[in-house]
């Protein structure tokens, strides 16, 4: 197949910011692109060859879109998997595979998949209804504290809650869920694995999510992670094992815990470019977006080590501000060495809404980390 | 002015490949963009917010387009300068300035400008008609060999010819031209200077154009140039002097000769992102396109040194092939370390047509240069 001609069409399900960054990279290779998205205001609209309006969870919308393309990928997991399965059977190359998405979309299934494949993960129990959790606590089968996770449709911290007493369950969705051991961990790590259809595999360096000491929110993604080599090696091996277990094609971002005794436990995965890989645009020899394209088009994978150290800071709406967005002090952070803001173009801010990210690169990772702190102190996403 | 909102509009004259690469960078900053271009098939069409059809040399087309934007820039020099002058008088920020473009558009004026500002350049004579060159040769005022250059509208090697005998003038355009001393040089160098409206200035490292030993064509752009520090310093000083003389805002690419005795002579300039800066996308802390935006929006300029060594190879149509383009062995070059192809998306190839470029980056510049040679040997732009 000649990707470098207009006979070939790449389809992307989802028209958000990840899709937009993926689309920029298709331009390097002059790939013809089609996007399906429910909103006419999607960021991708300006960057694709064909924009199709449609609901990603609707069988017909996804099927009719997918049958027009040669390779179909996603930028968001919540899509109609039955349609993907039909498309696969009809010869469309779907990456990630419908099977993989079906497993990942349901956190209980995802956890069982790890157990079945001897992939280390925190112990958990599965419940069809949240009321069953109450029963399990009552009869001693489940002890506080534990982590409640909705089986479906949770992301970006939604659908996850630490439960320390029964009343913490109040107001949570009633449906299928898991209760997971609360693992005391030293670090939250992530490895992005790229695998093409020929089975060639490359991993990006292990990254470290550094948490705010009080707010328990990820503040910095640091690449490479400041961990011993043997821990990095172990995390990379686990990530590779997960990618292989899924027989995955494309990028797979594997989020893991490094426990107090340096065990590695898989938390969850994303079968696509991921927030933990944004720093690759500036720091790596190959950006995660270019690598995803190389993988799903079965091209040779690019070099994944860093040119320089990279730190990523998310730009989220400040508390107390809702309305037309203003990036206070953005010019200030642009005076700092190796700082690149990525503004996603959302016109309205609200507390904690993800509005962009900032990458800080430097030949000295500690210096990048220091500048990242300056960035964090300086810029503020507020409203007019 | 708040660039990071849709109240602000950036206008770009020209819809070609340079404009497209510039547009990708506007997305990082969420800048609203308008493009004027005569062809409905322009590469920029897919990457801008508003696409306007119109002739860049037409006063009304440029004026009517320009009065709708806040800042106006170019991606090609051949635009209607009178319209730019009117727009400047009406308060539109035009970078590069109409004055600068008027000087640069005419090679005789450009050379006189260097003389007036004590900027070193090869000796030359100006002629209103090519017949005056014949007279000057006949009366001994001009000796072979010399370089004939059309005063206007020549680029990419058009409008330039080495003249060793009278018959070499046959078939050349009859109009205004210059005859320049043929300077024996060691190296052709270039420096890109960025200057914002506040007058802050940064220079990218000196790059070296390495020529094919026989074909006398630029084969590789190498960054940084493999020249002594004092020569690099001198070239940078000259480039800064040129930028200051023009009171230039935006990028100014200054092409220079390093003579046999290490003098620096300015050859010509381009007031925009330039072929000699493409490697900055992968090699530099700030790409030339982002830097041009920072400069014309009067934002702080980014860091301009290299993360790693960079070499750029132009992809041009091979001799003997005309028609639907095929990038033979592109997958082969993608197996090589640090190699990124940039395919411009032109559907038809013809001999020497610029179809794209390839960047090769490596921590060791010599290794990048070695891989660049492999790239050059491997990929071939042919037709179906």
pLDDT tens, position by position, A77-123: 999 999 999 999 999 999 999 999 999 999 999 999 999 999 999 99
Helix (H) or strand (E) holding B65, with range, is helix B59-66
Q: Using CB atoms, which residue from A324, A341, A363 is nearest to B29?
A: A341
A19 versus A46: which is more confidently predicted?
A: A19
Cα B208 from Cα B226, distance rounded (Å): 7
Cα B231 from Cα B242, distance rounded (Å): 17
Average pLDDT over residues A202-211: 96
- Residue A214's pLDDT band, with cuts at 50, 70 and 90, is confident
**pLDDT value at residue B155:** 54
Q: Is B39 on the interface with A (CB under 8 A)?
A: no
**pLDDT value at residue B41:** 87
Cα A15 from Cα A75, distance rounded (Å): 7
CB-neighbour burial class of residue A4 (10 A; exposed 0-12, middle 13-18, buried 19+)? buried
Beta strands B250-259 and B339-343 are unpaired
Residue A292 contacts residue A311 (beta carbons within 8 Å): no
Contacts of residue A339 in chain B, CB cutoff 8 Å?
Answer: 302
- Map A110-134 to HEC letters: HHHHHHHCCCCECCEEEECCHHHHH
Contacts of residue A4 in chain B, CB cutoff 8 Å?
Answer: 325-327, 330, 343
Cα A233 from Cα A305, distance rounded (Å): 14
* Residue ranges, CATH 3.40.50.20, chain A: 9-94
Which SS3 state, helix, strand or coil, does residue B84 take? Answer: helix
Whether the predicted pLDDT of B262 surpasses 70: yes
Q: Using CB atoms, which residue from B30, B338, B361 is nearest to A345?
A: B30
Å from A297 to nearest chain B CA? 11
Residue B134 contacts residue B169 (beta carbons within 8 Å): yes
CATH for the stretch A123-181: 3.30.1490.20
pLDDT digits (tens, 9 = 90+) for B308-365: 999 999 999 999 999 999 999 999 999 999 999 999 988 899 999 999 999 999 999 9
Q: Is B337 on the interface with A (CB under 8 A)?
A: yes
Which SS3 state, helix, strand or coil, does residue A330 take? Answer: helix
Q: Is A27 on the interface with B (CB under 8 A)?
A: yes
Size of interface A-B (CB pairs under 8 A): 93
Å from A220 to nearest chain B CA? 19
**pLDDT value at residue B213:** 74
**pLDDT value at residue B46:** 85
pLDDT digits (tens, 9 = 90+) for A266-299: 999 999 999 999 999 999 999 999 999 999 999 9
Q: Report the residue of chain A nearest B297, measured CA to CA.
A: A331
Contacts of residue A197 in chain B, CB cutoff 8 Å?
Answer: none
**pLDDT value at residue A146:** 95
A124-128's contacts with Cβ under 8 Å and 24+ in sequence apart are: A124/A178, A124/A179, A124/A180, A124/A181, A125/A178, A125/A179, A126/A151, A126/A176, A126/A177, A126/A178, A127/A176, A127/A177, A127/A178, A127/A179, A128/A176
Cα B225 from Cα B228, distance rounded (Å): 9
Residue B107 contacts residue B178 (beta carbons within 8 Å): yes
- Residue B112's pLDDT band, with cuts at 50, 70 and 90, is very high
Cα B286 from Cα A339, distance rounded (Å): 9
Nearest to A192 by CA among A263, A125, A281, A120: A281
Whether the predicted pLDDT of B166 surpasses 80: yes
Average pLDDT over residues B258-282: 97
Å from A213 to nearest chain B CA? 30
Q: Report the residue of chain A nearest B304, measured CA to CA.
A: A338
Q: Is B241 on the interface with A (CB under 8 A)?
A: no
Q: Is A323 on the interface with B (CB under 8 A)?
A: no
Q: Is B202 on the interface with A (CB under 8 A)?
A: no
- Specify the length of chain B in residues: 384
For the domain B185-383, what is the CATH superfamily, name and number?
Answer: ATP-grasp fold, B domain (3.30.470.20)
Annotated binding-site residues of A for ATP read 107, 149, 180-183, 188, 267-268
Q: What is the per-residue DSSP string for B170-204?
A: TTS--SSEEEEE---EEEEEEEEEEE-TT--EEEP
pLDDT digits (tens, 9 = 90+) for B226-251: 999 999 999 999 999 999 999 999 99
Average pLDDT over residues B67-91: 97
Cα B81 from Cα B72, distance rounded (Å): 12
Q: Residue A30 and residue B344: Cβ atoms within 8 Å?
A: yes
Q: Residue B6 and residue A347: Cβ atoms within 8 Å?
A: yes
Nearest to B341 by CA among B357, B325, B329, B355: B357
Q: Using CB atoms, which residue from A29, A338, A342 is nearest to B28?
A: A342
pLDDT digits (tens, 9 = 90+) for A156-190: 556 889 999 999 999 898 899 999 999 999 999 99
Q: Is B109 on the interface with A (CB under 8 A)?
A: no
Nearest to B301 by CA among B288, B316, B311, B315: B288
* Residue ranges, CATH 3.30.470.20, chain B: 185-383
* Residue ranges, CATH 3.30.1490.20, chain B: 123-181
Whether the predicted pLDDT of B107 surpasses 80: yes
Contacts of residue B287 in chain A, CB cutoff 8 Å?
Answer: none
Q: Is B341 on the interface with A (CB under 8 A)?
A: yes
Whether the predicted pLDDT of A1 surpasses 60: no
- Residue A76's pLDDT band, with cuts at 50, 70 and 90, is very high
Q: Residue A331 and residue B6: Cβ atoms within 8 Å?
A: no
Nearest to A31 by CA among A283, A297, A246: A297
Q: Domain A9-94 belongs to what topology?
A: Rossmann fold (3.40.50)
% pLDDT > 70, chain B:
96
Which SS3 state, helix, strand or coil, does residue A81 take? Answer: helix
**pLDDT value at residue A157:** 57
Å from B252 to nearest chain A CA? 21
Q: Residue B347 and residue A49: Cβ atoms within 8 Å?
A: no
Beta strands A185-195 and A201-203 are antiparallel
Q: Residue B299 and residue A331: Cβ atoms within 8 Å?
A: yes
Q: Is A16 on the interface with B (CB under 8 A)?
A: no
Is ipTM strictly over 0.95?
no
DSSP bridge partners of A201? A195
End-to-end CA distance of chain A: 50
């Amino acid at each position: 197949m000649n990707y470098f001609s207009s006979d070939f069409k790449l389809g992307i399900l989802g028209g958000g910011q990840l899709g937009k960054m993926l689309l920029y990279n298709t331009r390097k290779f002059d790939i013809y692109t089609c996007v399906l998205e429910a909103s006419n205001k999607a960021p991708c609209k300006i960057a694709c060859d064909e924009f199709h309006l449609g609901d990603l969870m609707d069988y017909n919308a996804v099927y009719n879109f997918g049958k027009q393309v040669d390779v179909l990928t996603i930028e968001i997991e919540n899509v109609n998997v039955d349609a993907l399965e039909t498309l696969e059977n009809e010869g469309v190359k779907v990456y990630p595979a419908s099977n993989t998405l079906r497993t990942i979309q349901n956190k209980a299934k995802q956890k069982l998949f790890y157990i079945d494949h001897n992939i280390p993960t925190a112990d958990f129990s599965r419940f069809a209804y949240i009321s069953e959790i109450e029963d399990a606590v009552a009869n001693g089968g489940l002890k506080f504290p534990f982590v409640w996770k909705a089986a479906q449709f949770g992301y970006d911290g939604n659908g996850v809650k630490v439960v320390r007493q029964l009343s913490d369950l109040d107001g949570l969705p009633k449906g299928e869920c898991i209760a997971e051991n609360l693992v005391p961990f030293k670090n939250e790590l992530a490895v992005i694995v790229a695998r093409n259809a020929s089975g060639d595999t490359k991993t990006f360096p292990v990254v470290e999510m550094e948490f705010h000491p009080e707010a328990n929110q990820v503040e910095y993604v640091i690449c490479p992670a400041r961990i011993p080599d043997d821990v990095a090696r172990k995390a990379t091996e686990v990530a590779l094992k997960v990618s292989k277990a899924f027989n995955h094609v494309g990028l797979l971002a594997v989020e893991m815990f490094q426990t107090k005794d340096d065990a590695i436990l898989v938390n969850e995965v994303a079968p696509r470019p991921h927030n933990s890989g944004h720093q690759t645009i500036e720091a790596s020899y190959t950006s995660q977006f270019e690598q995803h394209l190389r993988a799903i088009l079965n091209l040779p994978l690019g070099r994944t080590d860093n040119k320089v150290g990279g730190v990523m800071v998310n730009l989220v709406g400040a508390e107390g501000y809702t309305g037309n967005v203003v990036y206070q002090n953005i010019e200030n952070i642009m005076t700092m060495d190796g700082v690149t803001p990525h503004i996603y173009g959302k016109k309205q801010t609200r507390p904690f809404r993800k509005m962009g990210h900032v990458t800080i690169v430097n030949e000295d990772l500690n210096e990048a980390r220091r500048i990242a702190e300056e960035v964090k102190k300086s810029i503020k996403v507020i409203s007019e």
